[in-house]
Structure 1
């Protein structure tokens, strides 16, 4: 198959990582994969470095022009962001290529344009039940779920030790998160949770990996609560998964979450997780794979972090169960194969009426050829 991945985000977050991992696995399995993305984006830079053909455009006009003129060259347009879905659907009469959208967020959908573009999409795939429910609320009943995947974590002890020295962690236990400083991650509640935990114990340090628009506000809250020596900012770190060997507890404070692929990194690294139950996080942490508190509940999150730091007898069983779940459910090849099966089903459904018509039609008129799709 010829597959075009569409992602218009400038930075690098969970959706971009999933886009890149999908591209790598689809190529590994013998398919041709190109990327359509924003000019100057991180995903474009990484995809080009990995040897992919990258089509960069500065804005909507360039994207629409590319899809109108070149979209027909592909068997599947695999859309990864909402803006790209709008443009892929609006140009569909011109490119006539199958459009598949991976929905990674669970917030409520509304508006006439949103309903239109979702109903004109050939297939919407959700990464969790929470995401699927938000689509089904539009009246779209067939929303298959293909969960995100991550590569098994390979901790880098040398890099972790260097960072620990730079941050002055010393002998303190490490509580950490890897998330954007954005409203949906609720970093201000996270600061409050760490402040509540600090009132009970001082044997830990919290390290935040990530950046975002709320950083000045979060830093101000940290200063106001006098947490500068406890709540540390490590910023954006490429390949942050290699640092999970440094963590004693991994935390997610989200108020909204499609799934939470960083939790899968923690599962793979056998780091215990304390998290809110927002969106798809509830699905990941079910069956005692982690400790959950309600979104916005700083006190509940603090209590759960403290409980995990105390290393109770059942902690090993929890992390083993989480690691087994990751291995069974969230491997990259499992995710990619599920998508490829669905892509092929869609292509077969499109071919079937034409094939049936050819089978029952009289002999072909001389000089008229039957057109066929590219196949892997």
Structure 2
């Protein structure tokens, strides 16, 4: 099968990683996969490094033009972002190929509902990565199917772990980690408040936060200073593959206000790290049935209590983590995800 994966995002986040992971798994299963990305984007660079043919488009409009000329060469067009699905739909009268769109957010559509509904109606199948991501399409009268995101087997790098601990003088500390861009919907301020509560009682605990700067950066740094947490809450910025460092963590926390799934949570679970998340979106789906601990959105006290419980009950924490690890292995395998998409592609291509 000739498959085109399309993602025009500039950065490298969960959706871009899932795009590449899907392409790799489908290639492993014997299919010919190419990508369309934004020139210079991290996804384009990583896809080329992985041996894929990568074409470039600057915008939804330029993508539409490229697909009008070359889209008919493919059996299926898989749009992985809102912009890419726009370009695929605009050019559909020319390429006449089935379009699959993976919705990876749970944001409500506040403006442009008519045009969003029209665009989604022109897609041959809308896929949501969680029930949370499916709720808005359903509200607009679109029937999605659910195909959860997957995790890649994470290669442990002992040298990198030792270097990380040495560089930041963290040997002998109990570490609580998160990986999130510093922006309001990730709610870094709530985790900083929780850290102040935990560190007051547990002087050997240090919080490490991997993630690029964003709109909340200044507020986060100011609050860390106000709470005298400069040595207790480390903002480490963007790092490639931070999940390789998760094994040093006593717990992983994600404080998102809104989250369709949370791929960083899946990474932590796959490595046997206990997880705490907020009761929102796809997080509450992933951490259900005792796979993690849930706290109300914005509740620093509840998050701190969960962290302290995990620190004081290591055996129970590891039992919970083992349950979560098995769940990820069973439900979020990359080749199972790829096969689900391939089955869908075959159905649409008949």
TM-score band w.r.t. shorter chain: over 0.9
Q: Provide the aligned C-alpha RMSD in A.
A: 1.3
Q: Conserved in 2, the CA contact under 8 Å of 1:77 and 1:97?
A: yes
Structure 2 match to 1:275: 277
SS in 2 for 1:36: strand
Give the secondary-structure state (helix, strand or coil) at the position aligned to 1:125: strand
| Cα pair 2:60 2:86 within 8 Å, conserved | no
Q: TM-score, normalised by structure 1?
A: 0.89
Question: C-alpha offsets along residues 177-206 of structure 1, whole Å, 9 cap, x if unaligned?
Answer: 112222221112221221222233222000
Kindly indicate whether residue 124 of structure 2 is the aligned counterpart of residue 122 of structure 1: yes
State the partner residue of 2:168. Answer: 167
1:103 aligned to 2:103? yes
CA contact (8 A) 1:130 1:258 kept: yes
Work out whether residues 181 and 212 of structure 1, in 8 Å CA contact, stay in contact via their aligned partners in 2.
yes
Residues 294-303 or 305-314, more deviating:
305-314
1:66 and 2:66 aligned: yes
* Structure 1 segments unaligned to the other structure (5+ residues): 349-376
Aligned-partner SS, 2:221: helix
1:233-262 Cα distance to aligned partner (Å, 9 max, x none): 222221222111111111101011111111
Contact 2:193 2:300 (8 Å CA) reproduced: yes
Question: How many correspondences in the alignment?
Answer: 347
**Cα distance in 2, alignment partners of residues 313 and 112 from structure 1:** 52
Residues 74-128 of structure 1: per-residue CA shift (max 9 Å, x gap): 1111111111111211221122111101111112124211111011111001111
Which residue of the partner structure matches residue 199 of structure 1? 200
Structure 2 counterpart SS, 1:135:
helix
1:337 counterpart = 2:347: no
Given the alignment, which residue of 290, 293, 298 partners 2:292?
290
CA contact (8 A) 2:199 2:206 kept: no
Residue 302 of structure 1 deviates from its aligned partner by 1.1
1:61: Cα distance to partner?
A: 3.5
Distance 2:286 2:29 in 1: 27
Aligned to 2:223: 221
Partner-residue secondary structure (3-state), 2:256: coil
Equivalent residue number for residue 368 of structure 1: none
Q: 2: CA distance between counterparts of 1:182 and 1:43?
A: 22
Contact 2:101 2:125 in 1 (8 A): yes
SS in 1 for 2:145: coil
The 2-side partners of 1:322 and 1:55 are apart by 38
Unmatched segments (≥5 aa) in structure 2: none
Runs of 4+ in 1 over 6 A off after TM superposition: none
Offset at 1:312? Answer: 4.2
CA distance in 2, matches of 1:259, 1:245: 21
Q: Give me the TM-score of the superposition, normalised by structure 2.
A: 0.96
Partner of 2:52: 52
- Correspondence 1:26-45 to 2 at 5 A: 26-45=26-45
What's the counterpart of residue 148 of structure 2? 147
Q: Answer whether contact 2:61 2:87 (CA < 8 A) is retained.
A: no
